[in-house]
Amino acid sequence: MKKDYIFTPGPTPVPHRVSMAQSKMIHHRSADFGELFSRVLEGLKYAFQTKNDIVVFASSGTGGLEAAVANCFSPGDKVAVFSGGKFGERFVEISKFFGLDVIEVAYEWGECANPSDCERVVAENPDLKGVMLTHSETSTGVVNDVEAFGKIVGETQALFVVDTISGLCAAPFKTDEWSVDVAVGGSQKGLMTPPGLAFVSVSEKAWQVVEKAKLPRYYFCFKAARKSFSKTPPQTPYTPAITLLQALDEAIKMIQEEGLEEVWARHALFARATRAGVEALGLELFAKDVSRASVVTSVVSPGDINSGDLVRLLRNRYGIFIAGGQSKLKGKIFRLGHVGYFDRYDIIVQLAAVEFGLKELGYHIELGSGVTAAMRVLHEG
Ligand SMILES: Cc1ncc(COP(=O)(O)O)c(C=O)c1O
């Protein structure tokens, strides 16, 4: 018998009650849907910690990133994109694809973006229209200091656009307090819902720009979404992903029951426990700055072990899904997720699996040493 465990940093495990919530099809032009959608929009405001409007699209997170760019800018607008991993690079790609004039501030993968660079870029470019930052860079494990960036960008005319697809409901994120104009989230990570929904919070400052922005968009149109959403009861311009919204509604209820602060604290504890386990095994953490890292722990594959072999071994032999490295980190690191529906026993199982896998691949470890270190942190937690 082999049981599957999804420990990847997206998609993440879906709680049973969230799966069950999708079992009854309702029509999207019904009162039931109106009630559901109102609750989801309010719940998302809680998740984002905002009073801003939220727009929802039936797409993966990348659709939300594309929507953010397409709705907020005009051809040739100058933007600064701070990137230190695959998803920062995606923000650069989308911005270039739409013909923006992109200042790319690139960091070594594994480093955090430095707010003093933002200060400099903003001062040197008074015509800057946007600053893009990835909250939780899932490819490396770091979580950037969105608050410090927000203090700087908030003083300018530029819009502060943040990808919090893997950070939302995992690492602290305070849209309004941190002056984030446009924040993009996705369903399949901290929100414990299957993939397929993107949500974007849009500030008043951003709406004023959206009114005049000239990049083309059709489905991913903020204005069309807001027009339908503001009806009573709220509607959607096109057929919504009804069952995913039902699932999200239930997941948000779970987050509200636990409390957002507690959800953040749980993620931080599990990250500390995972790091303690990894270090007790004599392994090296890949992220240089783990001060805010609570979503995924990236680990340098030891010796000449290809991390892809470990990932495949755990998946094929034990049904344990961890993530390998992406792009230039392929084969070099593996990533242990602890985002969303995780409890302390998931952390222990995941570390135990890594211990078995590495031992089978010939790496010398004392079985149980990582697990023991993690248990200590969890116990003191
Ligand atoms: C930080 C970040 N941005 C963007 C994405 C892309 O999201 P999706 O695969 O849902 O399009 C991901 C997915 O892993 C992510 O972690």
Q: Which atom of ligand 1 is nearest to the CA of 166?
A: 16
Instruction: Average the pLDDT over 105-116 and give the result.
Output: 98
Q: What pTM, to 2 d.p., does this model score?
A: 0.98
Q: Is the CB of 57 under 6 A from ligand 1?
A: no
Q: Is the Cβ–Cβ distance between 91 and 134 less than 8 Å?
A: yes
- Provide the token pair at 267: 């993620």
Residue 2, pLDDT > 90, answer: no
Instruction: Average the pLDDT over 219-237 and give the result.
Output: 95
Distance 183 CA to ligand 1 centre (A): 13
pLDDT reported for residue 45: 98
Single-letter amino acid code for the residue at 193: T
Q: 161 exposed, middle or buried (CB, 10 Å; 0-12, 13-18, 19+)?
A: buried
Distance 165 CA to ligand 1 centre (A): 6
For residue 263, what pLDDT band results from cuts at 50, 70 and 90?
very high
102 Cβ contact partners less than 8 Å away, ≥ 6 residues apart: 79, 80, 81, 92, 95, 96
Residue 381, pLDDT > 90, answer: no
Q: Is the CB of 87 under 6 A from ligand 1?
A: yes
- Provide the token pair at 152: 């700087």
pLDDT reported for residue 357: 98
| Cα gap 40→255, rounded to integer Å | 12
9 Cβ contact partners less than 8 Å away, ≥ 6 residues apart: 138, 166, 189, 295, 296, 323, 335, 337, 339
Q: Is the Cβ–Cβ distance between 186 and 198 less than 8 Å?
A: yes
Q: 237 exposed, middle or buried (CB, 10 Å; 0-12, 13-18, 19+)?
A: middle
* CATH superfamily, region 5-10+259-380: Aspartate Aminotransferase, domain 1 (3.90.1150.10)
pLDDT reported for residue 15: 98
Give the 3-state secondary structure of residue 137. strand
Q: Which atom of ligand 1 is nearest to the CA of 65?
A: 4
Residue 1, pLDDT > 90, answer: no
Strands 323-324 and 284-285: unpaired
The residues with which 298 forms a beta bridge, in sequence order, are: 335
Instruction: Average the pLDDT over 102-122 and give the result.
Output: 98
Q: Which atom of ligand 1 is nearest to the CA of 195?
A: 10
| Cα gap 166→185, rounded to integer Å | 7
- Provide the token pair at 123: 């001062």
Average pLDDT along the chain = 97
The tens digit of pLDDT for each residue in 176-214 reads: 999 999 999 999 999 999 999 999 999 999 999 999 999
Q: Ligand 1 pocket test: which of 166, 188, 335, 339 has the largest number of ligand atoms within 8 Å of its C-beta?
A: 166
Q: Ligand 1 pocket test: which of 81, 83, 87 has the largest number of ligand atoms within 8 Å of its C-beta?
A: 87
Single-letter amino acid code for the residue at 18: V
Q: What's the topology of domain 16-257?
A: Aspartate Aminotransferase; domain 2 (3.40.640)
The tens digit of pLDDT for each residue in 59-102 reads: 999 999 999 999 999 999 999 999 999 999 999 999 999 999 99
Distance 184 CA to ligand 1 centre (A): 10
| Cα gap 182→150, rounded to integer Å | 11
Question: What are the C-alpha distances in Å from 306 to residues 103, 297, 330, 356, 363?
Answer: 34, 17, 9, 15, 12
Give the 3-state secondary structure of residue 284. strand
In the chain, domain spans: 5-10+259-380, 16-257
